[in-house]
């Protein structure tokens, strides 16, 4: 689970790059193709200006943690990561931007392709998983935005990522 991963897979020094990390989960695998230190991540984002970023947020995670425990919440986060990762390709970069929020930087330069990608991930909303003995529905909300000159500042970029996520899991917000 993500909490265990945090305890057992700590990075040493200042986030050295680690290629091909495999994280096993109880039911399946989450495979992250590449890890970046924050400076390399920001360089990648700046190099992707003009491309679309898709932000995802896990629905109802605080309720899940309160009602079913953090192990169940961790299983829901892991499932969200798995769904996003299963939809990405080698040209995309996924990263976690909050406790239950993720962003995917794409090579898409048109909003239709970016929206199609987001809809493929969201098409699994409402599907259930066994999370620490509980059958729980997993859903995400999403938003799509183009990386442009207004996001050259690091803080503004991550503020934009957080602001583009739709309040409604049934609707995709396009900025």
Q: Is 69 strand, coil or helix?
A: coil
Average pLDDT rounded to a whole number, residues 76-90: 94
Output the average pLDDT for the chain: 78
Fold of 2-174: Alpha-Beta Plaits (3.30.70)
**Beta strand segments in 81-121, E:** 93-96, 101-105
CA distances (Å), origin 175, targets 23, 99, 113, 144, 159: 33, 23, 14, 6, 13
Span 139-160, average pLDDT: 79
Cα–Cα dist 32/85, whole Å? 8
What backbone torsions phi and psi does residue 154 show, to the nearest 5 degrees?
A: -55, -50
Highest mean pLDDT among 47-61, 110-124, 146-160: 110-124
Residue 23 has pLDDT above 80, yes or no: no
Q: Name which of 74, 103, 73, 100 is nearest 88 in CA terms.
A: 103
User: What three-state secondary structure class fits 137?
Assistant: strand
Place of tokens 């729980």: 136
């Amino acid at each position: 689970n993500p909490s265990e991963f945090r305890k057992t897979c700590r990075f040493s020094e200042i986030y050295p790059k680690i290629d091909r990390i495999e994280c096993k989960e109880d039911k399946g695998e989450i495979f992250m193709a590449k890890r970046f230190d924050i400076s390399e991540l920001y360089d990648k984002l700046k190099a992707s200006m003009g491309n679309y970023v898709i932000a995802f947020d896990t629905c109802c995670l605080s309720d899940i943690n309160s009602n079913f425990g953090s192990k169940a919440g961790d299983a829901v986060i892991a499932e969200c990561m798995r769904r996003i990762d299963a939809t990405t390709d080698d040209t995309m970069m996924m990263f976690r931007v909050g406790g239950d929020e993720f962003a995917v930087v794409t090579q898409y330069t048109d909003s239709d392709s970016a929206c199609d990608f987001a809809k493929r991930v969201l098409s699994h909303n409402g599907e259930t998983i066994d999370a620490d003995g509980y059958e729980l529905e997993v859903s995400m909300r999403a938003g799509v935005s183009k990386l442009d000159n207004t996001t050259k500042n690091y803080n503004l970029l991550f503020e934009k990522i957080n602001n583009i996520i739709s309040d409604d899991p049934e609707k995709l917000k396009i900025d």
